[in-house]
């Protein structure tokens, strides 16, 4: 009698499992597609959100890097400019009578204007 029950249990388990797969597979596929669409919509709304503090920080860094690039270019041009007399005058000599808050023009070049 024990062997008969084993056969019945195996048969019932097989039929229930097969029926569940046949019935639940299309439902599971639809649920998966629905969840995929929901995830894509969330990603799309996250991209459309207004810029936050991270965007402001990034813009600030870009402005600072741009200013540094302009200053570097000015310094490189200043170093590469031909000098009349072969040397740069000492700061004490060139500073007399000049406004100390303003940069002096050397070699016909103007310093970059600060931004911001």
0.85 cut: is pTM over it? no
Measure Cα distances from 107 to 19, 81, 82, 112 in Å: 89, 6, 7, 14
pLDDT tens-digit map of 38-53:
999 888 877 766 667 8
pLDDT tens-digit map of 42-97:
888 777 666 678 888 889 999 999 999 999 999 998 888 776 655 555 555 444 44
């Amino acid at each position: 009698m024990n062997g008969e029950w084993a056969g019945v249990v195996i048969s019932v388990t097989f039929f229930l499992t097969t029926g569940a797969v046949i019935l639940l597979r299309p439902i599971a596929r639809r649920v998966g597609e629905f969840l995929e669409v929901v995830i894509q919509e969330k990603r799309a709304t996250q991209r459309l959100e207004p810029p936050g503090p991270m965007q402001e920080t990034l813009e600030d860094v870009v402005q600072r890097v741009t200013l540094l690039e302009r200053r570097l270019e000015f310094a490189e041009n200043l170093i590469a400019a031909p000098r009349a007399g072969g040397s740069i005058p000492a700061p004490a000599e060139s500073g007399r009578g000049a406004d100390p808050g303003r940069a002096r023009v050397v070699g016909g070049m103007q310093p970059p204007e600060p931004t911001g």
